[in-house]
């Protein structure tokens, strides 16, 4: 298979983790006789520094022509502490999601057997947890009109949803549930928000089309608690943009490190693959950033093109690295100097020699 992959490393630890994912994809291409080409684009704070824009035209054009996009991370501390900045790194990522209409962000939350001890949660609480979060990604309060009064004393954001925006992702989530444990939980705040009531109404209406799926409705405040006290009750979680942002990062505690969480952002015509972690500025270039979220995002990219054996091999490599403690310090209590690159190298080697790779 020929794949033209746009690579947007972005800011902070983005470049170093993305480099490991690219390395892994190259190994896959070699072993399975695929032709993957990689075209790099600027985005985020580094794009602002080099071009003045967080999302240069050229980046959009590279992405539009690509079969898939591999994204790193964006964000920078100086912007975080400057609420007056007019141009912000996040506009790059949000602009790209909107421009390419990547409306369905899919975030798997899987408790790895080998990492059960790493979680802040008790082992029996999380064992066997396997949740798929469907987060709406191109609407809601992220994209509704924003206003700041002329005197700077009043600010507002609109959270708006249309029936169509809800329906298209709800269908995907229902279908995913059908192929899994057949349970869907809609998370909203329908006791307070009009937009949440539209979500609830639409999902209640679609329910009969998926009679074999059990549908649950939960308020976001309650879900934030239930996710911790009883994560195993969830199969597919469907939710709006901001609630999905909050719940998925919270869910990282189940897995043991946010450095493990991958995601796919899908639209009708485009597909982007991105770790859910941020730019983690203070870890930049220290070799401590966990590349697994990025590598597993690459595995989701392979899934997307039906390259099941390839994706599975990448995941086996990840599993083996976890089992053998070839992991960055966020997970490692056994060895203290395994770097970002070393983890990438290990998984690359595994892909070339799945039967031989061992600790050395």
Stretch that binds its own copies, among 33-41, 46-54, 104-112, 136-144 (CB under 8 A): 136-144
278 binds ligand IPM (CB under 6 A): yes
* Contacting residue, 6, 121, 293, 298, with its own copies by CB under 8 A: 121
221 binds ligand IPM (CB under 6 A): yes
* Cβ-Cβ contacts under 8 Å for 57 (sequence gap 6 or more): none
By CB atoms closer than 10 A (0-12, 13-18, 19+), residue 155 is exposed
| Span 63-92, contacts to ligand IPM by CB under 6 A | 74-75, 90
d(CA 232, CA 260): 19
- Max CA distance (Å), the chain: 67
12 binds ligand IPM (CB under 6 A): no
Select 114 or 157, whichever has its Cβ closest to its own copies: 157
For 285-316, b/e burial (b = at least 16 CB within 10 A) is eebbbbbbbbbbbbbbbbbbeebeebbebbbb
Distance of alpha carbon 188 from the chain centroid: 20
Q: Closest separation between CB of residue 226 and its own copies, Å?
A: 9
183 binds its own copies (CB under 8 A): no
Q: Are 146 and 156 in contact (CB under 8 A)?
A: yes
d(CA 337, CA 327): 9
Number of amino acids touching ligand IPM (CB under 6 A): 10
| Span 187-206, contacts to its own copies by CB under 8 A | 189-195, 197-198, 200-201, 204
168 binds its own copies (CB under 8 A): no
| Span 92-111, contacts to ligand IPM by CB under 6 A | 93
87 binds its own copies (CB under 8 A): no
Q: Closest separation between CB of residue 6 and its own copies, Å?
A: 23
Residue indicated by tokens 């959270």: 159
Residue 344 CB coordination number (10 Å): 24
Quote the DSSP letter at residue 54: S
d(CA 58, CA 66): 12
Select 19 or 220, whichever has its Cβ closest to its own copies: 220
Q: Closest separation between CB of residue 344 and ligand IPM, Å?
A: 22
Which of its own copies, ligand IPM, none sits in contact with 301, Cβ below 5 to 8 A by type?
A: none
> Residue 262: which of 136, 117, 109 has the closest Cα?
109
131 binds its own copies (CB under 8 A): no
* Contacting residue, 136, 165, 245, 348, with ligand IPM by CB under 6 A: 245
Strand partners, 101: none
250 binds its own copies (CB under 8 A): yes
258 binds ligand IPM (CB under 6 A): no
d(CA 30, CA 35): 8
192 binds ligand IPM (CB under 6 A): yes
Q: Are 119 and 256 in contact (CB under 8 A)?
A: yes
Binding site for ligand IPM (CB under 6 A): 74-75, 90, 93, 191-192, 221, 245, 276, 278
Binding site for its own copies (CB under 8 A): 75, 79-81, 83-84, 88, 90, 94, 120-122, 125, 141-142, 144, 146-148, 152-164, 189-195, 197-198, 200-201, 204, 217, 220-222, 224-225, 228-229, 242, 245-250, 252-253, 258, 278
């Amino acid at each position: 298979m020929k794949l033209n992959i746009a690579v947007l490393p972005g800011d902070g630890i983005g470049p170093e983790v993305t480099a490991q994912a690219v390395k892994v994809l190259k190994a896959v291409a070699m072993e399975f006789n695929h032709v993957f080409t990689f075209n790099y684009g600027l985005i985020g704070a580094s794009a602002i520094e080099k071009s003045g824009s967080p999302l240069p035209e050229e980046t959009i054009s590279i992405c539009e022509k690509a079969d898939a996009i591999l994204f790193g991370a964006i964000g920078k501390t100086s912007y975080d502490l400057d609420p007056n900045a007019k141009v912000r790194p996040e506009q790059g990522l949000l602009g790209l999601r909107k421009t390419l209409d990547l409306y369905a962000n899919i975030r798997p939350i899987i408790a790895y057997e080998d990492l059960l001890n790493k979680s802040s949660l008790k082992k029996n609480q999380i064992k066997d947890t396997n949740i798929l979060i469907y987060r709406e990604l191109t609407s809601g309060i992220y994209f509704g009109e924003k206003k700041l009064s002329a005197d700077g004393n009043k600010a507002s954001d609109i959270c708006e949803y249309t029936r169509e925006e809800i329906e298209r992702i709800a269908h995907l989530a229902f279908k995913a549930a059908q192929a899994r444990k057949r349970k869907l939980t809609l998370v909203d705040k329908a006791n307070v928000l009009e937009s949440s009531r539209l979500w609830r109404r639409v999902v209640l209406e679609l329910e009969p089309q998926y009679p074999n799926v059990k549908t649950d409705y939960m308020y976001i405040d309650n879900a934030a608690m239930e996710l911790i006290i009883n994560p195993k009750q969830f199969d597919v979680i469907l939710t709006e943009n901001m609630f999905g942002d909050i719940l998925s990062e919270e869910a990282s505690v189940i897995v043991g490190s946010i450095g493990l969480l991958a995601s796919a952002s899908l639209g009708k015509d485009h597909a982007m693959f991105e770790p859910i972690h941020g730019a983690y500025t203070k870890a930049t270039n220290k070799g401590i950033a966990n590349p697994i979220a990025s590598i597993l995002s690459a595995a989701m990219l392979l899934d997307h093109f039906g390259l099941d054996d390839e994706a599975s091999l990448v995941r086996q490599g990840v599993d083996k690295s976890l089992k053998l403690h070839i992991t960055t310090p966020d997970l490692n209590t056994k060895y203290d100097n395994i770097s970002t690159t070393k983890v990438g190298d290990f998984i690359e080697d595994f892909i070339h020699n799945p039967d031989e790779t061992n600790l050395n």
